[in-house]
Amino acid sequence: MTFTTKDLTQRIGTEVKTDLETLLDGSIAKELRALLVKRGVLLFRNLDMTDEQQVEFGWTMGNVRLEHGNKITKIIADKTQSPIFADYTEGTYYFHIDGTYTDTPGLASILRPLVLAPEGGQTQFCNTYALYEDLPTDEQRFLDGLEAVHSGETIMRLAFPNPTEEQLAAWGEQTNPPKKHPFVWQHKSGRKSLLLANSIKYFVGMDRAESDALLAKLLATADEPQYIYSHDWRMGDLLIWDNTGTMHRVVPFDLNCGRELQRVTLLGEEQVTGVRAPA
């Protein structure tokens, strides 16, 4: 079997129909990589996959990154089961791109559910290529010249406006310094996307109120339905997203419900690079 596709929305997300054997032998990996960049999110349904097979699929798509020494990471809000990630769950309720505090954000992440949330818990994605491409030319030129400072504390404060000393020690700027990036990422392909996220603390060189207003306006546009794919998890799903051309967030859910996913992350292959002058 090779594969067939069905778009999930007009601007973002495609369901790919194939079988486990085809996914794991890498024979369609090159086509899937191209489709991933074009569509932002790829969904496979009814796959009875193991942890090892999820990692194996990751290797066909790129280079699997070790997270705290592991090729696969449990995503669960229960601190006893996930001491490293559980405390960040509420921060993931806000649109973000993973790794905006580094030069080279991860290429993609691959998720598969083990326990579903009875309510909420959908993962939502926003196409940040489309956001840029839809802007009027004068606005694109203005944004092309901007830089933004990203900080983990900024997004975590949305969830915890009055953090404790302990929380600040874990995710505050003292331990996790902010990172400056060009706001428009011109990828090696030449295409441009917005490095938009709730981790943006401010735009460099702008009055703070003006910076906050611009960020709020862009985030409000990002919430328009034509840019979003909202994924309702079913057992047997496997989903991969292009972390360099989409933002993601999770819809709030009961943190005690046992919702659990397994994540494999692919190493970034391109540094965030600003807009190049036309040749």
Q: List interacting residues with Fe ion (CB under 5 A).
A: 98
Residue with tokens 């092309």: 144
Question: Residue with the closest Cβ to Fe ion?
Answer: 98
CA–CA separation, 149 vs 178, rounded Å?
Answer: 6
Q: How far is the CB of 90 from Fe ion (least distance, A)?
A: 12
Minimum CB distance to Fe ion smaller for 17 or for 71: 71
Q: How far is the CB of 279 from Fe ion (least distance, A)?
A: 35
Cβ–Cβ < 8 Å for 112, 261: yes
Helices (H) and strands (E) in the chain, counts: 8, 15
Q: How far is the CB of 98 from Fe ion (least distance, A)?
A: 4
Minimum CB distance to Fe ion smaller for 23 or for 43: 43
Minimum CB distance to Fe ion smaller for 98 or for 211: 98
Six token digits for residue 179: 């990172």
Q: How far is the CB of 100 from Fe ion (least distance, A)?
A: 10
**175 burial class (0-12, 13-18, 19+ CB within 10 angstroms)?**
exposed
Q: How far is the CB of 170 from Fe ion (least distance, A)?
A: 16
Minimum CB distance to Fe ion smaller for 75 or for 146: 75
Minimum CB distance to Fe ion smaller for 23 or for 42: 42
Cβ–Cβ < 8 Å for 24, 9: no
Minimum CB distance to Fe ion smaller for 214 or for 249: 249
Q: How far is the CB of 263 from Fe ion (least distance, A)?
A: 9
Nearest to 76 by CA among 262, 278, 203, 224: 262
Minimum CB distance to Fe ion smaller for 109 or for 211: 109
Nearest to 212 by CA among 137, 158, 167: 158
Q: How far is the CB of 136 from Fe ion (least distance, A)?
A: 30
Residues constituting the chain: 279
For 24, list phi and psi in degrees, rounded to 5. Answer: -85, -20
For 74, list phi and psi in degrees, rounded to 5. Answer: -80, 125
CA–CA separation, 254 vs 117, rounded Å?
Answer: 8
